[in-house]
């Protein structure tokens, strides 16, 4: 690989790193919400995979049925996590998709 190609590749890598860092910061400010039990339990998570809230509708959930409530919380949190991962993939996938253009084997 010539010197010029190497410099071009390094510039592309640095640009991609800056874009990735910016996208990761933006993800921290975006949220996704998922629900379980027909909306009885809602979980909200950032694109940075941080759980920020759990809401339980007292009109729908029977406080006597703790096991069902726990199951709904787990379902809502897991669905929110899946949604947050999809959001991150959408944001970051566009940036890393260009790695193959650099001619680096295995990327």
**Domain 3-99 listed as CATH 2.120.10.30:** no
- Beta strands across the sheet bearing 51-56: 31-36, 41-46, 51-56
The confidence score (pLDDT) of residue 76 equals 92
pLDDT tens sequence for the chain (107 residues)? 578 888 888 888 888 888 888 887 888 888 899 999 889 899 999 888 889 999 988 888 777 888 888 899 999 999 999 998 898 888 887 776 655 555 555 44
pLDDT value of residue 94:
74
pTM (2 d.p.): 0.65
Q: What CA–CA distance (Å, rounded) separates 54 from 14?
A: 38
* CA separation for the pair 51, 7 (Å, rounded): 41
Domain parsing of the chain, residue ranges: 3-99
């Amino acid at each position: 690989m010539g010197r010029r190609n190497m410099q071009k590749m390094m510039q592309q890598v640095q640009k991609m790193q800056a874009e990735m860092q910016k996208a990761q910061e933006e993800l921290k400010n975006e949220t996704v919400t998922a629900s379980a039990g027909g909306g009885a339990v809602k979980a909200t998570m950032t694109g940075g995979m941080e759980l920020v809230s759990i809401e339980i509708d007292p009109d729908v959930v029977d406080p006597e049925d703790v096991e069902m409530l726990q199951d709904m919380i787990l379902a809502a949190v897991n669905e929110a996590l899946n949604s947050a991962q999809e959001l991150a993939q959408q944001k970051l996938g566009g940036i890393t998709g260009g790695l193959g253009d650099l001619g680096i084997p295995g990327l």
